[in-house]
């Protein structure tokens, strides 16, 4: 009886929007099984945490009031008065951090497995864009509670952007909505956080996910070579085997989120006071720490270039290399091992870890 | 070659002469244009020892810095180079005033409203008048040359503004300045008054604030005794002296049941409990009927005052107990991660009642004290209740976390079993 009604609904929908092709795709989607299959889960994990962000973000929007006079108070209201408000806010903050973490793991695993090679170049490009948008989410969201630490971190962050020659000042004024970090900055970053960036991320994410469905899971170079040589690669069906495995990961991460949010509720800190002097220990969020620490370590003048500018140029150059990796690595396209790129990737990971730990240690 | 050098030497010498003449003319011209020579200072500077000292000291004197000089006080003509002419009585020279003459000597200007207005319009001009009402002034009139007059405290020839930290009458230096005489047993022997005031004051709550913490809001000797009209406050005016700063306590005392009987018994108002010079910082243990309480110095078990003291102490203790309880609940809630910022603020506001209650002890009325402690306790009880609620909520969070974790593990386990079943079938 139940099955009949389901079929009726399915048929009704299929006639109108065409569900059959999707069903066919899902039925035939296979996921390769090899020693690196574990890393396949991190893309889905990032997507899951992104969904958590969307849902908790929408709930927070019901109470959050974006202005210098009300932002801090409204977040305080959410955490103290709204039923489960503390949980939602804490999950939103923790999930944001776990999402960036999962994203980094996903990106570096894709990089080290050289999954960006032909024909997945655009998947990689959209992926790097997603990373930038996500970091944008992190930067804009950090200021929203309007507390002391986030206020000064935003000031420092936008100051750094302002030190870029020629366009720096324009970027600074655009980000701050004026020359200083004020209520106008808060409103502006709020607009980015809840409208501009979400629309952008949905668009890019749509392309990214479509391309993943189109090309399927990429094989590591060695496995791809074996396949090319005619060896059969073991696979499991995406539905339901891989999805169930994915689901276990998601549900465990949900558990971790609930645990973190309950046991280590995200602190609100003190309200920002634009007239107060900067507190000691201003630091950006952890995923910007390696860049912040680098800028701190570079001498104020290197030859004839300003140290800070050199750092910014360095990171811009690094970002461009990251973006164009699929076009720089020719060897992987020929299914040859590219040791240089692997070593480079590992060095970058080590650099980021060491500088981040260093940043927190001093 | 050599004759050239000689010629050059002669020309150079001529130039030196010309420059010298121009320089001297310029100095004389500038000197005559910008000021006349003060021959008092010039001549005295060239003398030795005692006559020289005024000429040296005067450079740091406030009067000199404001444009006055020797002749403005001592008379005479400072523009005359000849001593006799400069210090001629015909020119109004009065010379060094005698010890007794000094107050009137300074008072010639300092009591002149019109004159003082030119220099410091805000400065009082009643110092001389007040001085003659002081013990010092009265005794000086009788011929006692050991009592203080103007220069004893302000110094002479190097008189500084009282705002100057180096002035002996700058607030922080006042106790030491008074102590110069008043702590000197030999000097004060004749007057038969104690000489331990400075030692006691230094150990008092006021002395520690002023001398150790450099808090100039704390009183020095002159704050209670007056400065130019210095005299010990009379028995009836003790609360008025203390009330200059402790106004609320004074008003409460004046309405209290102690006021009249103490006046009849000759008790010394504030000083009766707080002592004088060595004014102690009283604690709550000084109130009530405990061993350290001052109330039981006069009140015995069974009398009304004893019961009132007991009730006043009980009110203070109850409020303090409630504050402690609320504090510990909020600390526990905060440690567990609850946001208790608002409750901490409320507790801080309610705790201000303790300060008011301690002030109200000076009413010596259990009802007056109880009124404020009860109101504060009511507010604190609300804080305690809400604090407990947040602790309960934290407990609920823990239960919720355990249940959720269990549920999540259960679903994960079921999914795992499902995968195994699906893969077994294949």
Confidence of residue B32 (pLDDT cuts 50, 70, 90): very low
Query: Which residue in A236, A240, A252 is closest to B412 by CB distance?
Result: A252
> How is chain A split into domains, by residue range?
30-287
DSSP state of A147: B
Q: Is the pLDDT of residue B311 over 90?
A: yes
- Report helix, strand or coil for B314: helix
Q: Which helix (H) or strand (E) holds B284?
A: none
User: Once rounded to an integer, what is the mean pLDDT over residues B359-366?
Assistant: 94
pLDDT of residue B19: 63
Query: What are the structure tokens assigned to B274, written together?
Result: 């707080």
Measure in Å the smallest separation between the Cα of A243 and chain B Cα atoms.
Answer: 10
Q: At what angle do helices B304-335 and B366-425 cross, to 10 degrees?
A: 20
Give the list of residues 6+ apart from residue B51 with CB closer than 8 angstroms, or none: B44
Confidence of residue B340 (pLDDT cuts 50, 70, 90): confident
**A295 vs A299: CA distance, rounded Å:** 8
Cα torsion at A303, A306, A312, A315 (round to 10°)? 10
Query: What are the structure tokens assigned to B394, written together?
Result: 């934290």
| Beta bridge partners of residue A301, listed in sequence order | A306
- Chain A residues inside the 8 Å CB shell of B401: 258-259, 262-263
User: Once rounded to an integer, what is the mean pLDDT over residues B300-311?
Assistant: 93
Q: Is the pLDDT of residue B344 over 90?
A: yes
Of residues B268, B264, B317, the one with CA closest to residue B288:
B317
pLDDT of residue B10: 58
Compute the Cα dihedral for A62, A68, A70, A73 and give only its sign. positive
**A198 vs A66: CA distance, rounded Å:** 17
pLDDT of residue B234: 65
Q: Does B339 touch chain A (CB under 8 A)?
A: yes
For B299-326, b/e burial (b = at least 16 CB within 10 A) is beeeeebbebbbbbbbbbeebeebbeeb
pLDDT of residue A304: 83
Q: How does DSSP assign A66-79, residue by residue? A: -STTTHHHHHHHHH
pLDDT of residue B121: 87
pLDDT of residue B5: 55
CB pairs under 8 A between A and B: 50
B76, B92 in Cβ contact below 8 A?
Answer: yes
Complex ipTM value: 0.80
Give the list of residues 6+ apart from residue B185 with CB closer than 8 angstroms, or none: B195
Give the list of residues 6+ apart from residue A195 with CB closer than 8 angstroms, or none: none
Of residues B200, B255, B292, B418, the one with CA closest to residue A239:
B418
Q: Does A262 touch chain B (CB under 8 A)?
A: yes
**A163 vs A144: CA distance, rounded Å:** 24
- Return the percentage of chain B with pLDDT > 70, whole number: 90
**B100 vs B82: CA distance, rounded Å:** 30
Of residues B284, B286, B258, the one with CA closest to residue B270:
B258
**B364 vs B295: CA distance, rounded Å:** 10
Q: How does DSSP assign B114-132, residue by residue? A: HHHHHH-TTS-S-HHHHHH
Tokens 């077994």 identify what position?
Answer: B424
Q: Report pLDDT digits (tens) over A124-136.
A: 999 999 999 999 9
- Report helix, strand or coil for A103: helix
- Chain B residues inside the 8 Å CB shell of A252: 408, 412
Tokens 């996921």 identify what position?
Answer: A31
Q: Does B399 touch chain A (CB under 8 A)?
A: no
Compute the Cα dihedral for A74, A76, A80, A83 and give only its sign. positive
Q: Taking CB atoms and an 8 Å limit, are B408 and A263 in contact across chains?
A: no
**B376 vs B261: CA distance, rounded Å:** 32
Q: Note the helical H segments in B266-364.
A: 269-274, 304-335, 341-360
Q: Report pLDDT digits (tens) over B263-303.
A: 898 888 888 888 889 988 788 999 999 998 999 999 999 88
The dihedrals phi and psi of A283, each to the nearest 5 degrees, come to: -145, 150
pLDDT of residue B208: 94
Residue B264 sits at the vertex; the CA angle it makes with B260 and B267, to the nearest 5 degrees, is: 90
Tokens 């001593």 identify what position?
Answer: B83
Of residues B158, B128, B241, the one with CA closest to residue B169:
B158
Query: Which residue in B337, B400, B422 is closest to A241 by CB distance?
Result: B422
Query: Is the link from the previous residue into B399 a cis peptide, with omega within 30 of 0?
Result: no
Q: Does B419 touch chain A (CB under 8 A)?
A: yes
DSSP state of B363: G
- Report helix, strand or coil for A31: strand
**B421 vs A138: CA distance, rounded Å:** 41
A362, A292 in Cβ contact below 8 A?
Answer: no
Tokens 């005024």 identify what position?
Answer: B54
A59, A88 in Cβ contact below 8 A?
Answer: yes
- Return the percentage of chain B with pLDDT > 90, whole number: 58
Q: Is the pLDDT of residue B12 over 80?
A: no
Q: Report pLDDT digits (tens) over A318-355.
A: 999 999 999 999 999 999 989 999 999 999 999 999 99
Residue in chain A closest to B425 (alpha carbons) equals A241
Confidence of residue B34 (pLDDT cuts 50, 70, 90): very low
B364, B267 in Cβ contact below 8 A?
Answer: no
Tokens 């069906």 identify what position?
Answer: A237
DSSP state of A271: B
Long-range (24+ apart) CB contacts under 8 A made by B252-260 are B252/B359, B252/B360, B252/B362, B252/B363, B252/B368, B253/B362, B253/B363, B255/B363, B256/B362, B256/B363, B256/B364, B256/B365, B257/B364, B257/B365, B258/B364
B221, B178 in Cβ contact below 8 A?
Answer: yes
Q: Taking CB atoms and an 8 Å limit, are B401 and A259 in contact across chains?
A: yes
User: Once rounded to an integer, what is the mean pLDDT over residues B31-41?
Assistant: 67
Give the homologous superfamily in CATH for domain A30-287.
Answer: Cytochrome Bc1 Complex; Chain C (1.20.810.10)
Q: Taking CB atoms and an 8 Å limit, are B404 and A268 in contact across chains?
A: no
- Chain A residues inside the 8 Å CB shell of B400: 262
Q: Is the pLDDT of residue B361 over 50?
A: yes
pLDDT of residue B1: 44
Measure in Å the smallest separation between the Cα of B350 and chain A Cα atoms.
Answer: 21
Give the list of residues 6+ apart from residue B281 with CB closer than 8 angstroms, or none: B205
Mean residue pLDDT of chain B comes to: 88
Q: How does DSSP assign B63-83, residue by residue? A: HHHTT--HHHHH-S-TT-SSH
Half-sphere exposure of A195 (CA within 13 A, CB side): 6
pLDDT of residue B30: 46
Cα torsion at B371, B373, B379, B382 (round to 10°)? -120
User: Once rounded to an integer, what is the mean pLDDT over residues B121-147?
Assistant: 92
Query: Which residue in B339, B401, B418 is closest to A79 by CB distance?
Result: B339
Compute the Cα dihedral for B243, B248, B251, B253 and give only its sign. negative
Q: Is A40 exposed, middle or buried (0-12, 13-18, 19+ CB in 10 A)?
A: buried
pLDDT of residue A263: 85
Positions in chain A whose pLDDT score sits under 50: none
Query: Which residue in B339, B401, B416 is closest to A262 by CB distance?
Result: B401
Long-range (24+ apart) CB contacts under 8 A made by B84-90 are B86/B39, B86/B40, B86/B43
Q: Which helix (H) or strand (E) holds A180?
A: none
Q: Does A252 touch chain B (CB under 8 A)?
A: yes
B240, B250 in Cβ contact below 8 A?
Answer: yes
**Backbone dihedral region of A13: left (phi > 0), alpha (psi from -120 to 50 degrees) or beta?**
alpha
């Amino acid at each position: 009886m139940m099955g009949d009604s389901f079929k009726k609904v399915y048929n009704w929908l299929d006639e109108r929007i065409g569900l059959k092709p999707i069903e066919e795709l899902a039925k035939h989607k296979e996921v390769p099984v090899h020693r690196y299959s574990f890393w396949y889960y991190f893309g889905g994990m990032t997507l899951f945490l992104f969904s958590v962000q969307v849902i908790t973000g929408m709930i927070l929007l019901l109470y959050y009031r974006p202005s210098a006079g009300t932002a801090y108070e409204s977040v305080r209201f959410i955490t103290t008065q709204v039923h489960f408000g503390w949980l939602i806010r804490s999950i939103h903050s923790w999930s944001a951090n776990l999402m960036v973490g999962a994203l980094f793991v996903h990106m570096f695993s894709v990089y080290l497995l050289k999954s960006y090679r032909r024909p997945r170049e655009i998947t990689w490009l959209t992926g790097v864009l997603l990373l930038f948008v996500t970091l944008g989410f992190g930067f804009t969201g950090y200021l929203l509670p309007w507390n002391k630490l986030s206020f000064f971190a935003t000031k420092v962050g936008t100051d750094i952007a302002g030190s870029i020659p020629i366009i720096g000042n324009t970027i600074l004024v655009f980000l701050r909505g004026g020359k200083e970090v004020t209520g106008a900055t808060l409103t502006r970053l709020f607009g980015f956080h809840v409208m501009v960036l979400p629309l952008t991320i949905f668009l890019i994410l749509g392309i990214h996910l479509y391309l993943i469905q189109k090309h399927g899971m990429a094989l590591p170079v060695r496995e791809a070579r074996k396949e090319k040589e005619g060896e059969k690669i073991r696979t499991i069906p995406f539905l339901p085997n891989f999805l169930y495995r994915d689901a276990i990961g998601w549900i465990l991460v949900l558990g971790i989120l609930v645990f973190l949010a309950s046991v280590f509720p995200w602190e609100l800190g003190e309200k920002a006071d634009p007239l107060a002097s900067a507190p000691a220990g201003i630091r950006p969020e952890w995923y910007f720490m390696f860049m912040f620490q680098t800028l701190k370590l570079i001498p104020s003048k290197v030859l004839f270039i300003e140290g800070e500018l050199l750092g910014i140029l360095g990171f811009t150059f690094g970002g461009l290399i990251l973006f164009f990796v699929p076009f720089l690595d020719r060897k992987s396209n020929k299914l040859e091992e590219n040791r240089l790129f692997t070593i480079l990737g590992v060095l970058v990971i080590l650099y980021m870890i060491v500088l981040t730990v260093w940043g927190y240690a001093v | 070659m050599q004759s050239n050098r000689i010629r050059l030497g002669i020309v150079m010498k001529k130039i030196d002469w010309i420059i010298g003449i121009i320089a001297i003319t310029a100095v004389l011209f500038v000197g005559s244009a910008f000021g006349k020579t003060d021959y008092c200072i010039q001549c005295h500077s060239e003398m030795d020892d005692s006559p020289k000292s005024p000429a040296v000291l005067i450079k740091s004197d406030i009067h000199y810095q404001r444009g006055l000089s020797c002749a403005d006080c001592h008379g005479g003509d400072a523009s005359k180079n000849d001593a006799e002419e400069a210090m001629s009585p015909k020119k109004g020279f009065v010379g060094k005033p005698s010890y007794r003459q000094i107050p009137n000597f300074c008072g010639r200007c300092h009591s002149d409203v019109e004159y003082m207005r030119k220099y410091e319009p805000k400065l009082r001009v009643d110092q001389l008048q007040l001085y003659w009402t002081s013990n010092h002034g009265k005794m000086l009139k009788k011929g006692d040359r050991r009592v203080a007059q103007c220069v004893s405290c302000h110094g002479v020839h190097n008189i500084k503004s009282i705002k100057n930290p180096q002035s002996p009458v700058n607030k922080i230096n006042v106790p030491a300045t008074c102590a110069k005489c008043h702590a000197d047993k030999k000097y004060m022997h004749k007057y038969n008054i104690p000489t331990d005031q400075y030692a006691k004051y230094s150990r008092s709550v006021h002395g520690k604030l002023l001398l150790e913490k450099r808090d100039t809001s704390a009183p020095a000797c002159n704050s209670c005794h007056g400065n130019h009209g210095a005299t010990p406050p009379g028995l009836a005016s003790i609360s008025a002296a203390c009330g200059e700063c402790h106004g609320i306590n004074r008003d409460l005392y004046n309405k209290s049941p102690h006021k009249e009987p103490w006046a009849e018994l000759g008790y010394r108002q504030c000083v009766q409990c707080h002592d004088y010079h060595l004014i102690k910082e009283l604690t709550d243990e000084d109130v009530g009927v405990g061993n350290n309480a001052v109330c039981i110095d006069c009140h015995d078990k069974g009398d009304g005052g004893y019961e009132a003291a007991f009730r006043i102490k009980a009110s203070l203790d109850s409020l303090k107990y409630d504050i402690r309880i609320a504090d510990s609940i909020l600390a526990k809630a905060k440690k567990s991660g609850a946001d208790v910022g608002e409750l901490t603020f409320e507790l801080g506001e309610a705790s201000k009642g303790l300060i008011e209650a301690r002030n109200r002890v000076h009413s010596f009325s259990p009802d007056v004290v109880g009124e404020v402690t009860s109101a504060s306790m009511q507010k604190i009880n609300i804080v305690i209740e809400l604090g407990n609620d947040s602790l309960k909520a934290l407990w609920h969070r823990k239960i919720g976390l355990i249940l959720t974790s269990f549920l999540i593990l259960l679903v994960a386990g079921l999914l795992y079993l499902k995968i195994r079943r699906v893969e077994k079938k294949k």
